[in-house]
Amino acid sequence: MWFYLALLSALFLGIYDIFKKVSLNKNAVLPVLMISIASAALIFLPVIVLSAFGIIPNNNLLFIPEITASEHLQVFLKAIIVLTSWIFSFFALKHLPITIVAPIRATGPFWTLLGAILIFSEQLNTFQWIGIAITLLFFYLFTTVGKLEGIHIKRNKWFWFIILATLSGAISGLYDKHLLQNINRLAVQSWFSIYQTLIMLPIIMFLWYPKRKRSTPFVFRWTIPLIGICLVSADYIYFKALSNPEALISVISAIRRGGVIIAFSIGAILFKEQNIQRKTIYLLGIILGIGLLIFGSAH
């Protein structure tokens, strides 16, 4: 059962990326981000209230425990880190092909592992070193594809936005290593969604709204709230799969990363993007490298 749940989580992650691209196409970035985050927060808000009043029992998978003021501060910091990553990511995805953005974002575990080596002095095994070499090689090859599509890496700020999004996402992954050892996963997921919404409110009010007529106009699309709903669904199913005592974490993590294949494949067809054959080869190389990193981490 856990295997199929992992596949379902990957499917939701792939659809999540597609909904982002559809929502951002010729649209204002910040309100799209705001609504997608708020839709996730609105899912969690009643669950927090029902848990606090004991209507959802503490043995229920949906139960969200209360956390201390210190833990709230830690989750707030995570919200800032993740929101930074998402702002860079959303702007990049609006201006770059999804068949370039999705594979680069898929290298997140590589940068997280690199940070773990530098910060925590983690030792790597043979599988992980091979995984790093393969990921780096195909990551570099992806940067060469951009040139074929008129994306000059040194001068294109959107390419650097997706790099910054991936690196800040890796920082979030490293922070999670500390955070999730001490705080309930669902509490982290719910409160950081709420804090992100609160942080986005002044950004919308003071940065976007006064200048909205001088930039790309905002158009509401039904795919926008579905961004947050898909992400919440993917994460919930992922944690449910992990709760199975027979589940293999390395296999679940590898399958979950396979969501990039869905985003890449549907995106290539839907948006009629270029150099698909070459990108497919490079994507498979990145997936192989990440797969070796995950496999090596479990052995």
What's the confidence (pLDDT) of residue 200?
97
Burial class (CB in 10 A: 0-12, 13-18, 19+), 292: buried
Give percent of the chain above pLDDT 70.
96
**For 25-152, where are the alpha helices, taking DSSP H only?**
29-52, 69-95, 98-105, 108-120, 126-148
Identify the residue with better confidence: 29 or 7. 29
C-alpha–C-alpha distance, residues 269 and 99, integer Å: 10
C-alpha–C-alpha distance, residues 237 and 239, integer Å: 6
92 near 24, Cβ under 8 Å? Answer: no
The angle, 0 to 180 degrees and rounded to 10, between the axes of the packed helices 2-24 and 98-105 is: 140
Q: What is the pLDDT of residues 30-66, one digit of tens each?
A: 999 999 999 999 999 999 999 999 999 988 888 999 9
Can you read off the two tokens belonging to residue 43? Answer: 């899912």
116 near 175, Cβ under 8 Å? Answer: no
The mean-pLDDT minimum among 80-89, 92-101, 140-149, 207-216 falls in 140-149
Q: What is the pLDDT of residues 74-86, one digit of tens each?
A: 999 999 999 999 9
